[in-house]
Amino acid sequence: MEAAWALIDPILQTWDTHQTPPLAVYKPGTWGPPEAYDLLARDGRRWLNEEASMMLEK
Protein backbone atom coordinates (compact mmCIF):
# COMPACT_ATOMS: atom_id res chain seq x y z
CA MET A 1 0.00 0.00 0.00
CA GLU A 2 2.83 2.41 0.81
CA ALA A 3 4.42 1.77 -2.59
CA ALA A 4 1.13 2.59 -4.32
CA TRP A 5 0.81 5.89 -2.45
CA ALA A 6 4.45 6.68 -3.18
CA LEU A 7 3.48 6.58 -6.83
CA ILE A 8 0.15 8.41 -6.55
CA ASP A 9 1.04 11.15 -4.04
CA PRO A 10 3.34 13.11 -6.40
CA ILE A 11 0.61 13.08 -9.06
CA LEU A 12 -2.01 14.39 -6.64
CA GLN A 13 0.37 17.05 -5.33
CA THR A 14 1.13 18.26 -8.86
CA TRP A 15 -2.56 18.51 -9.68
CA ASP A 16 -3.11 20.51 -6.50
CA THR A 17 -0.47 23.10 -7.44
CA HIS A 18 -2.49 24.19 -10.50
CA GLN A 19 0.66 24.05 -12.61
CA THR A 20 -0.86 21.43 -14.86
CA PRO A 21 -3.51 21.95 -17.53
CA PRO A 22 -7.01 20.84 -16.63
CA LEU A 23 -8.09 17.36 -17.60
CA ALA A 24 -9.72 17.19 -21.02
CA VAL A 25 -13.35 16.18 -20.74
CA TYR A 26 -15.90 15.21 -23.36
CA LYS A 27 -19.46 13.96 -23.57
CA PRO A 28 -20.05 10.21 -23.44
CA GLY A 29 -20.69 8.73 -26.88
CA THR A 30 -18.51 11.28 -28.68
CA TRP A 31 -15.10 10.69 -30.23
CA GLY A 32 -13.23 12.46 -27.47
CA PRO A 33 -12.04 15.93 -26.60
CA PRO A 34 -10.63 18.34 -29.18
CA GLU A 35 -7.25 17.95 -27.48
CA ALA A 36 -7.09 14.36 -28.77
CA TYR A 37 -7.27 15.62 -32.34
CA ASP A 38 -4.82 18.42 -31.65
CA LEU A 39 -2.33 15.93 -30.23
CA LEU A 40 -2.24 13.96 -33.47
CA ALA A 41 -2.42 17.03 -35.71
CA ARG A 42 0.84 18.38 -34.23
CA ASP A 43 2.65 15.61 -36.09
CA GLY A 44 0.52 15.85 -39.22
CA ARG A 45 -1.50 12.78 -38.28
CA ARG A 46 -5.20 12.13 -37.91
CA TRP A 47 -7.53 9.47 -36.61
CA LEU A 48 -8.36 6.64 -39.01
CA ASN A 49 -12.05 6.84 -38.20
CA GLU A 50 -13.63 9.06 -40.85
CA GLU A 51 -16.14 10.67 -38.49
CA ALA A 52 -13.41 11.54 -36.02
CA SER A 53 -11.18 12.86 -38.81
CA MET A 54 -13.96 15.13 -40.05
CA MET A 55 -13.98 16.85 -36.65
CA LEU A 56 -10.43 18.00 -37.36
CA GLU A 57 -11.59 19.88 -40.42
CA LYS A 58 -14.19 21.91 -38.49
The pLDDT tens digits for 41-56 are 899 988 887 665 566 5
% of the chain with per-residue pLDDT over 70? 83
Distances (CA, A) of 37 to 22, 25, 30, 54: 17, 13, 13, 10
How far is it, in rounded angstroms, from Cα 47 to Cα 7? Answer: 32
For range 5-22, the mean pLDDT: 85
- Is the pTM here over 0.85, yes or no? no
- Model confidence pLDDT, tens digit, residues 23-32: 888 889 888 8
